Structure 1
Amino acid sequence: MSLIKHTSTIAGFTVISRIFGFVRDIIIARVLGAGLAADAYQLAFTLPNTFRRLFAEGAFSVAFIPMYSRKLAGENGEEEAEKFANDVLSVFIWILLGFTAIAMMAMPFIVWLLAPKFQAIPGKYELSVFLSRVTFPYLAFISMVAMLTGLLNSRSKFAPGAIAPILFNIVMIIGVLIGHYWRGDSDDDAYVVYALSAAVSISGLVQMIYLWWSVRRAGLSLKISKPVFSDDIKKLGMLILPATFGAGIYQISQFVDTFFATSLPEGSLTLLKMADRLNQMPLGIVGIALGTAILPMLSRFIQNDDKVQVQRIQAQAFEMATLLTLPAAAALAICAPAFTTAFFVGGKFTLDDGAIMSNIVIALVAGLPAYVIVKILIPGFFARSDTRTPVLTALASLIFNIGLNIYVVLYAGFGIVGLAAATAASASLNCILLYVILHKRGWFHFTIGLANKIVRQIIATAAMSALLIWLMSWLTPYYSGSVIDKIFSLSLIVISGGAIYAIAGWAVGAIDREQLSALKRSRGK
């Protein structure tokens, strides 16, 4: 029950954050479109944001939280945990500052490595380098946020870490509006991307201040002292290094996709990133919420050698993941033309841009269930301090992804849509490999009861899909019409799709009625 409660807390705030993020992306699309400046900004934002997911929210969190949780559960819990946190902070902050400084100095080479074709377009490479230097300090700030969030999550205080992204999106919306106002009647998009890039780093600072205040409010004391490489710090480092790769296949694939996307026609990178934002909405709400909630819980049960609870938590997380992602993937695939046209097309974002973006969305969401399930399978390894296995599965998936990218872009000519499909396929492979290994080691197994639930979820998803396909054919003139037409058509799609899935899910038993009743009771307390 606590998994559902904690997941709902994180997911609730994440929904608010994703709504703000959606508004942010709509404004950026309409103000910038998919051109030179937009591509330069997307590359500049991709660098610190991917490192954030790869290291701060990926490798560091999955290595730090289990160690910190075990310290808390030990004999001298509070004292050992506080010492460990302060030792990590004292080392971590200098590594962050050093890495940020080196990366900013090496930015011309980094941009050239990721987007060599930008040099062929006058001004695009230089603008990308400048914007990347402006955005990169965000990584240092957000890495501190990840550590502070880990401290709170280990104590089952999930709300502050889930609220922080809301602050990010608010600052970003303010940034794009300032840039648009600064540009005035000019058609120079540089004003907008300057303001946007500055807003990225400012948002990281704002989040760090908020999380530091939350940690102090929770009664935790953090002190920066002379860095000492204790045995615990060395162990953490040994876990982080392979975890950086093992927990970050999706993020590493982002760099691979960025490299290939920048070799395609101008605007391809922007359209890929915009489409990925739609894909990230359910991934962030469900996947990150479940992964965040499950890791400290698994660590405690594994520490106590409670195999029954370990299996129960993982099975419950798996069921919740498919319950939410199967209909989300189907709905996004079917309704992608409606969403992209209604929300993004306008201003500098053309109908052609919207059509390409909708096809990219369809390709990406084919891997949505896999993206989320990976988030709940990887903690099963890291809670046991096993970082080697995810490295091997990630390596196999990454090689597979690169091979597919080369084929679909250079040989088959499928372009940016093929690139998105390759990413989905590689994530699915990683998911399969992780589960097979967990099963063979006896750490998690797919039960008949779980399979039965998923079959019922598929039936409910099929009922919803049939309705959405019929609605889409009927509502085509509306989602590209007036504002009133758009509101009417999208509201009908969302409400009808959600209602039929809920009704069908309830009727066929896809929704666990006991857990739903328990969740309602917990919210009423």
Structure 2
Amino acid sequence: MNLLKSTGTIGGLTLVSRVFGFVRDILLARVLGAGVAADAYQLAFRLPNTFRRLFAEGAFSVAYVPMFSRKLHGEGGLPEAENFSRDVLSVFVPILLGFTALFLLIMPWFVLALASEFREVPGKFELAVELSRYAFPYLFFISLVSLLTGILNSMSRFGPGASAPILFNLTLISGILLGGYLRPPGGGDVIVVQVLAAFVSLSGLVQLIWLWWFVRREGISLKLRRPRFTGDVRELGRIILPATFGAGIYQVSQFIDTFFATRLPTGTLTHLAMADRLNQMPLGVIGIALGTAILPALSRHIVQNDESGARGLQGQAIELAMLLTLPAAAALAVCAGPLVDGFFVGGRFTPEDGRVTAAVLQMIVVGLPAYVLVKILIPGFFARKDTRTPVWTALAALIVNVILIVLLIGRYGIIGLVAAGAAAAWFNTFLLYAILSRRGHYRLQGAVARRIALQLLATGAMVVALLLVRSNIGFLLAGGTVAKLAAIAVLVGIGLAVYGAVAWVIGAVDREQIMMLLRRKPADA
């Protein structure tokens, strides 16, 4: 598997999705602002998405993909892998239905435990419960999407799964536009968020239909049958349970952040969401793409007892990740103000909302390289059927996160909250790398370390250029929306040009490999 090609496929489609995500959040910010309805919607949106990361993209994915891959490339081939998937689906669907129904029933108590401060604002708590019930069925649909995506990824068909979030964002954009259309002149925001929360669940159904068609196209027929706890299903469960606990620690951290954020001034959840939208662009395009591409490839190397190939693949992923993530994080920090002003400020999203969001973004991106590295290092454990070690490192990081939040939030508010998360992510990264290194699974090669150091140098040159340019285009930054967007285009263009040129000249990239890839015919890639 060509890691660069696979990452490019996933990353390119994820980039398109993130662009539509920008459009979605720009509309959301301008239609709703950062008020009561916006905060209630952000909470409702977080609940199924947090569980999605826990089950669908977390524990289930990392357990299912290696098992399906081994069966697909083993003696039984596609028929055995297909039969395994049918057994999993038949057990998975009833569990998901029961879990979803349970949460729809207990939603008032769950929201109360998470955001009791909402009761201090008339109607806010009740609205949050209502919207959460509309949005939560999304979890059922997207969990099935994860199973289908795992099948396709194991067959090196990365495009359909990576393109599904595009449909998600298009559906939500439609919901915002419909809600805005239905809102009476001078009316409140309730109808907008009601429609939008319902469209969250609808987007899951749309993605499920999309992936189901591609799986059928690959010749795999998945039919529901009487649930059977076969040996393979039980083995999957034994892998999922510790993985769920490990992924659960990350999501508990998200719930803890939400718990503290709801105790800060109204609008905090919206400020966090808008800052994270900008942060998610490089995180999704680079981190998720590399993490998705590397897991099945690492599994194949390890099944073949090719530890050297596995170490080389992980080193290539880390080098590529830092090549793209370091300049992205630095550029987001330097250009946070213009980016937030250009994309979000306007309508009901005030300049003060923009100032707070920009400050949050500058702190979030401190942890961006760490978040990406974690997504690359963890497959090194999961591919070896070790789901316990990431649990303990995540638990340690969670403890660090909570301690830092308690120490910082009283003095620094929302900035202290995100600073604690960034510090905990770096702590987790160092723990994961230290354990992989100690076990001999992966150590940073000298050539890779040297190029990362040169990437930092090229990033520094880019930061200097961006600061100089920013100081000379103040007239654009102070203008209207079109002028601000023009300023952003200038900053992005110059940043890319300076970083790319300096990185190439000083050897921050593997020029020999890049030239080899450029010389290859597409069929040989």
**Which bracket does the TM-score occupy, shorter chain normalised?**
over 0.9
Q: Provide the aligned C-alpha RMSD in A.
A: 1.2
How far did 1:521 drift?
A: 5.0
Residue 406 (structure 1) aligned with residue 399 (structure 2): no
How far apart, CA to CA, are the structure 2 residues paired with 1:383 and 1:163?
A: 25
Look up the SS of the partner of 1:75 in the other structure: coil
Match status 1:97 vs 2:97? yes
Counterpart-to-counterpart distance in 1, 2:444 and 2:406: 35
**TM norm structure 2:** 0.98
Whole-Å separation in 2 of the counterparts to 1:387 and 1:297: 17
Give how far 1:186 is off.
2.5
Which residue does the alignment assign to 1:499? 497
Amino acid at match of 2:440: G
Of stretches 74-83 and 207-216 in structure 1, the one that deviates more from structure 2 is: 74-83
8 Å contact kept, 2:37–2:189: yes
How far apart, CA to CA, are the structure 2 residues paired with 1:296 and 1:523?
Answer: 25
Paired AA for residue 82 in structure 2 = E
Mapped pair 1:153 → 2:127 = no
Distance in 2 of aligned mates of 1:42 and 1:522: 47
Shift of 1:183: 0.6
2:48 alignment partner in structure 1: 48
| CA distance in 2: counterparts of 1:515 and 1:84, whole angstroms | 39
Which residue matches 1:125?
Answer: 125
Secondary structure of 1:157's aligned partner = coil
Q: Tell me the alpha carbon deviations over residues 425-460 of structure 1, each in whole angstroms, 9 at most, x when there is no partner.
A: 111111110000000001111111110010111111
SS in 1 for 2:378: helix
1:326–1:457 contact (8 Å) kept in structure 2: yes
Rounded to whole Å, the distance in 2 between the matches of 1:249 and 1:494 is: 36
Please state whether the residue corresponding to 1:156 is helix, strand or coil. coil
Is contact 1:290-1:317 (8 Å) kept? yes
* Unpaired stretches in structure 2, ≥5 consecutive residues: none
Partner of 2:464: 466
Query: In the alignment, residue 445 of structure 2 is paired with which amino acid?
Result: T
Could you say which residue in structure 2 is the equivalent of 1:192? Answer: 192
Secondary structure in structure 2 of the residue aligned to 1:345: coil
Amino acid at match of 1:173: I
Q: Distance in 1 between matches of 2:187 and 2:518?
A: 52
In structure 2, the CA distance between the partners of 1:214 and 1:115, relative to structure 1 (3 Å rule), is: same
Q: Which residue of 2 aligns with 1:330?
A: 330
Structure 1 residue 84 and structure 2 residue 84: aligned? Answer: yes
Alignment deviations for residues 328-384 of structure 1 (CA, whole Å, 9 cap, x no partner): 000000000010011111000000000000000011000000000000100000011
Cα deviation for residue 522 of structure 1 reads 5.9
- CA separation in 2, counterparts of 1:245 and 1:378? 14
Equivalent residue number for residue 225 of structure 1: 225
Which amino acid letter does the alignment assign opposite residue 154 of structure 1? S
Aligned partners of 1:484, 1:105: CA distance in 2, in Å?
Answer: 47
CA contact (8 A) 1:91 1:228 kept: yes
Correspondence 1:447 to 2:442: no
The amino acid across from 2:489 in the alignment is S
Deviations 1:178-214 (A, max 9, x none): 1111113123000110111011000000000000001
AA at the equivalent of 1:24: R
Deviation at 1:248, TM superposition (A): 5.3
Once the two structures are TM-superposed, the CA of residue 518 in structure 1 deviates from its matched residue by 4.2
Partner of 1:479: 477
Q: Which amino acid aligns with 2:18?
A: R
In structure 2, the partner of 1:381 is 381
Contact persistence 1:245–1:394 (CA under 8 A): no
Q: Is 1:357 matched up with 2:357?
A: yes
Quote the offset at 1:483 in angstroms.
3.2
- Identical residues among aligned pairs (%): 58
Q: Counterpart amino acid of 1:150?
A: G
Following superposition, the deviation at residue 242 of structure 1 comes to 1.6
1:290 maps to 290
Letter in 2 for 1:462: G
CA contact (8 A) 1:65 1:154 kept: yes
Distance 1:46 1:471 in 2: 37
Counterparts in 2 of 1:82 and 1:421: CA distance versus 1, 3 Å: same
Quote how far apart the aligned CAs of 1:250 are. Answer: 4.2
Matched, 1:391 2:391: yes
| Aligned twin of 1:261 | 261
Paired residue secondary structure (1:450): helix
Counterpart CA distance in 2 for 1:483 and 1:136 is: 35
SS at match of 1:395: helix
Aligned CA distance change for structure 1 residues 193 and 518 (closer, same or farther; 3 Å): farther
Measure the CA separation in 2 of the matches of 1:104 and 1:187. Answer: 29
Tell me the residue number matched to 1:252.
252
Q: CA–CA distance in 2 between the matches of 1:398 and 1:14?
A: 28
The aligned counterpart of 2:142 is 142
Aligned match of 2:488 in 482, 487, 490? 490
- The residue aligned with 2:425 is 427
Structure 1 residue 252, shift from structure 2 partner:
3.0
Letter in 2 for 1:232: D
Number of positions where the alignment pairs a residue of Structure 1 with one of Structure 2: 523
> Are 1:268 and 1:416, in contact at CA under 8 Å, matched by a contact in 2?
yes
Secondary structure of the residue aligned to 2:329 is: helix
Q: Structure 2 CA distance, aligned partners of 1:106 and 1:136?
A: 12
Name the aligned partner's letter for residue 255 of structure 2.
Answer: F
Is the 2:341–2:484 contact (alpha carbons within 8 Å) kept by the matching residues of 1? Answer: no
Deviation at 1:480, TM superposition (A): 3.7
Shift, 1:404, TM fit: 1.0
**Structure 1 residues 232 and 197: alpha-carbon distance in aligned structure 2, compared to 1, 3 A threshold:** same
Structure 2: distance between partners of 1:516 and 1:486: 35
Distance 2:488 2:10 in 1: 26
* Shift in alpha-carbon separation, 1:250–1:497, aligned structure 2, 3 A: farther
Deviation readout 1:59-80 (Å, 9 max, x if unpaired): 1100100111111121112222
Q: Which has the larger displacement, 244-253 or 290-299?
A: 244-253
CA distance in 2, matches of 1:26, 1:51: 25
The aligned residue for residue 303 of structure 1 is: 303
| 8 A contact 1:5–1:522 mirrored in 2 | no
After superposition, residues 65-80 of structure 1 pair within 5 angstroms as 65-80=65-80
Q: Judge which range, 112-121 or 128-137, deviates more.
A: 112-121
Counterpart of 1:328 in structure 2: which amino acid? A
Structure 1 residue runs of 5 or longer lacking an equivalent are none
Please list the CA deviations of residues 135-159 of structure 1 after superposition, one character each: whole Å capped at 9, or x if unmatched.
0000000000000000000000000
CA contact (8 A) 1:279 1:368 kept: yes
In structure 2, do the counterparts of structure 1 residues 31 and 313 end up closer, same or farther at CA, with 3 Å as the change threshold? same
1:201 equivalenced with 2:201 (yes/no): yes
Which whole-Å CA distance do the structure 2 matches of 1:307 and 1:250 have between them? 29
Determine whether 1:178 maps to 2:185. no
Note if 1:368 corresponds to 2:368. yes
